[in-house]
Amino acid sequence: MLKMTDVCKVFRTELVETHALNHVSLQVDEGEFITITGPSGCGKTTFLNIAGLLETMTSGQYLLDGVDVSQLNDFKRAKLRNQKIGFIFQSFNLMPDLNLFDNIDVPLRYRGMPAAERRERIDKALESVGLFSRKKHLPAQLSGGQQQRVAIARALVGEPRFLLADEPTGNLDSNTARGVMELLQEINTAGTTIIMVTHDQELANQSPRNIHILDGRISNGTPAPQQETDKEAAPAVA
Amino acid sequence: MLLYYLRLSALSYKRNPILSTLMVLAVAIGVGAYMVIYTLNYTMGGNPIPHKSSQLFHVQLDTGDPNLENDPPEQLTYLDATALIAASPAFRQTASSKFVAVVEPSNPELLPMITNNRGVFGDFFPMFDVPFLYGRGWDRDADDNLEQVVVLSRDMNERLYGGRDSVGENLIMDGLVYQVIGVLDDWTPVPKFYDVNNGPFDASEDIYTPWNHIVDKEFSRQGNTNCWKAIDGSGLQAFLNSECVWIQYWVELRDRNEEQAYMDFLNSYSAEQKNLGRFERPLNNGLFDVEEWMIEQEVLPDETRILSALAAMLLAVCLLNTIGLLLSKFLGKSGEIGVRQALGAHKGSLFIQHVIEAGFIGLIGGILGLGVAGLGLEGVKYLLGQDLLVTDWIQLNLPVAITTIVLAITATIIAGLYPIWRACNINPAIHLKTQ
């Protein structure tokens, strides 16, 4: 369902050319929980941004549910992002002037969903992260862990097939981080594919499949169980 | 989504109240100042009779000095005005001149008063769609038979008769008895197009009477009189036979054919006069409709054009400031824009959101600008009140208020286009990581 072949990303300035991703090939199947690790500046976030259609690639092919995204314009990429991808960020990225309800409402607004359906989904999402009673609160009135739960609710409210998480526990203490990780595992168990970038090797070890990126290349990859017998799949090509 | 975006705009205002208020003030001052000048130009340079201005023509005959190459005189001589009236080939026509007289009120409690009057032909009232409160004007027979009738302005009727229907009353003017046959409703065309030679922003006259009385009763004429040639002799008759111009002359022509026919008539008349030794300059008669005549006579003072340019420059400076402030504000929202993109917003929807936010600032700026414009117009009234007799027309009316709001919103959106474009083209990936 997510297949990258020979994907390169080059950042160019007048003086410097940086190869953030260098011929990366990867396939992620439905229901997987993948962690991406690697040192700072290795290309983890660039990979996630390309996977999340926030960044374009310099070359290569990227198929998302069979759709070649390199051919899509901004409108179609945004629509695909809205319908199929949820994001969780290290710094939560909640909008400070909007209460929890309105924060979670944002992706549904862009989907053009009727108000009643939006309300129902938002209430359900808030209940699922245990914050329904605080839906009129502003993000600043919550703890870091609670804010990340709201961000997760916002990412899931549109029922995306992918959840992309960029160091979702990076700003949290270890106890809270464990709680968030457990929540992500529950979400994955319910069927959502998760790709999570992390610096934390302990968290990476909890996922069935870990991809390590070094200098823009996949240096090792734990193949997904179902891919071991799939000859066409390319779990990791550096 | 419009209401959603408006709500986001209000929240954004609250988030940066100082920056937002600075923008609102910049827009309010720029638009307010511009609207003060616009109102003056709109009123002073506006079309005072738009529904038929293209059918009303000021008549110009070139009776000027043959030794000069100046424009033809704006007014007519007595000889020419009476000749044109005698022929009367137009659908309607009137000569028109100012005079003053002493009116003795029938009310013994009122003292005699000097009134500003106008001699006109009966066609004057239907030609210019002059509104009547009571009674009517007079017909051509009354002109020809020198009937002693008058039409009062509403204000004069108020002063002489307390505002009641005074039709049928006798009025003593310069010792002569006139009968009141009509009272006008409020009528103050701005500019006073039918006599721009004697103060385009002066008040309308108090009393109207058949024009022939000015000569017949030897009333005291008022207004510009220009003579390029010395008067041959002395006394009224010598003046009437002279080349002195002092009479405004208007005709109503309903279509192009009538206009062409009247021009042919004027040229034919000029040719006759040339044969008689007058009209020594080359043929150069003119028919100007109301708007053409306002432009020809440069009714709008030069100062207002300079002020217009200055006000436009001030507006431009304020909008340039607004561009800078909007750039700062919108680029400061890069993080939020990045998040919205991640959540499914495309550039088009972000563009619309920020256009509405700019429009929201423009709306508040426009409302505040109305206050600035209102204060400015009061200041202008105070300053011009001593020079212009009529200042009541300088006011913030509904069209001006709507224009102010629309201008403020439009100008702010235009000012916001570049900042919005910059903000919508940020790389969301950078801001999501660093927010």
What region, left, alpha or beta, does residue B380 occupy, with left being phi > 0 and alpha being psi -120 to 50 degrees? alpha
Give the distance from CA A65 to its chain's centroid.
16
* Confidence class for position B384, pLDDT limits 50, 70, 90: low
Q: Return the pLDDT at B64.
A: 87
Residue B42 has pLDDT above 80, yes or no: no
Residue type, B184: L
Q: Are strands A33-37 and A209-214 parallel, antiparallel or unpaired?
A: parallel
Q: In whole angstroms, what is the distance from residue A124 CA to residue A118 CA?
A: 10
Q: Centre a 10 Å sphere on the Cβ of residue A161 and count the other Cβ atoms it contains.
A: 17
Interface confidence: ipTM more than 0.95: no
To 10 degrees, the CA torsion angle through B211, B217, B220, B225?
50
Nearest to B11 among A45, A55, A97 (CB): A97
Nearest to B15 among A74, A79, A97 (CB): A97
pLDDT (tens digit, 9 = 90+) per residue, A153-174? Answer: 999 999 999 999 998 888 888 8
Question: Rounded to a whole number, what is the distance in Å from the CA of A44 to chain B's nearest CA?
Answer: 12
Going from N- to C-terminal start, the domains of chain A cover: 2-229
Helix (H) or strand (E) holding B9: helix B2-15
> Span B269-288, mean pLDDT?
92
pLDDT (tens digit, 9 = 90+) per residue, B65-106? Answer: 888 888 899 999 999 999 999 998 999 999 999 999 999 998
| A123 Cβ neighbours under 8 A, 6+ residues apart | A132, A135
Task: Provide the 3-class DSSP secondary structure of residue A15.
Answer: coil
For the ranges B177-186, B321-330, B384-393, the maximum mean pLDDT occurs at: B177-186
Q: Return the pLDDT at B394.
A: 64
> b/e string for B198-219 if b means 16 or more Cβ within 10 A?
bbbbbebbbbbbbbbbbbebeb
pLDDT (tens digit, 9 = 90+) per residue, B402-428? Answer: 888 998 999 999 999 999 999 998 888
Query: Does any CB of chain A come closer than 8 Å to the CB of residue B332?
Result: no
Tell me which of B334, B343, B346, B349 to substitute to probe the interface with A (most A C-beta atoms closer than 10 Å). Answer: B343
pLDDT (tens digit, 9 = 90+) per residue, B249-263? Answer: 999 999 999 999 999
* Confidence class for position B388, pLDDT limits 50, 70, 90: low
Binary contact (B342, A74; C-beta < 8 A): no
* Confidence class for position B37, pLDDT limits 50, 70, 90: confident
Q: Are A38 and A102 in contact (CB under 8 A)?
A: no
Task: Provide the 3-class DSSP secondary structure of residue B73.
Answer: coil
Query: Does any CB of chain A come closer than 8 Å to the CB of residue B435?
Result: yes
Q: Return the pLDDT at A207.
A: 86
Question: Rounded to a whole number, what is the distance in Å from the CA of A103 to chain B's nearest CA?
Answer: 10
Query: Does any CB of chain A come closer than 8 Å to the CB of residue B17?
Result: no
CA distances from B279 to A150, B265, B307 (A): 93, 15, 41
pLDDT (tens digit, 9 = 90+) per residue, B121-134? Answer: 999 999 999 999 99
Residue B43 has pLDDT above 90, yes or no: no
Length of chain B: 435
Q: Which of residues 410-429 of B touch A (CB under 8 A)?
A: 427-429
Q: Return the pLDDT at A235.
A: 39
> Which residue bears the tokens 């009123």?
B43
Binary contact (A97, B340; C-beta < 8 A): no
Binary contact (A95, B339; C-beta < 8 A): yes
Sign of CA dihedral B343, B347, B351, B352: negative
CA distances from B220 to B54, B94, B147 (A): 33, 20, 19
Question: Rounded to a whole number, what is the distance in Å from the CA of A100 to chain B's nearest CA?
Answer: 15
Q: Return the pLDDT at B397.
A: 75
Judging contacts by C-beta atoms under 8 Å, the chain A residues touching residue B427 are 55
| B64 Cβ neighbours under 8 A, 6+ residues apart | B70, B71, B72, B73, B228, B281
Query: Does any CB of chain A come closer than 8 Å to the CB of residue B1?
Result: yes
Q: Which residue, among A179, A97, A177, A100, has the nearest Cα to A133 in the 3D structure? A: A100
* Confidence class for position B343, pLDDT limits 50, 70, 90: very high
Give the distance from CA B313 to its chain's centroid.
24
pLDDT (tens digit, 9 = 90+) per residue, B185-227? Answer: 999 888 889 998 888 888 889 999 999 999 999 999 988 999 9
Tell me the residue ranges of DSSP E strands in chain A. Answer: 2-12, 17-28, 33-37, 59-64, 67-68, 85-88, 162-166, 193-197, 209-214, 217-221
Quote the CATH superfamily of domain A2-229.
Answer: P-loop containing nucleotide triphosphate hydrolases (3.40.50.300)
Chain A residues at the B interface, defined by Cβ less than 8 Å, are 45-46, 49, 52, 54-55, 74-75, 77-79, 81-83, 87, 89-91, 93, 95-98, 106-107, 109-111, 154, 158, 166
Residue B120 has pLDDT above 90, yes or no: yes
Question: Rounded to a whole number, what is the distance in Å from the CA of B329 to chain A's nearest CA?
Answer: 15
Structure tokens at B289: 């409709």
Residues of chain A with pLDDT under 70: 221-238
Cβ pairs bridging A and B (under 8 Å) = 74
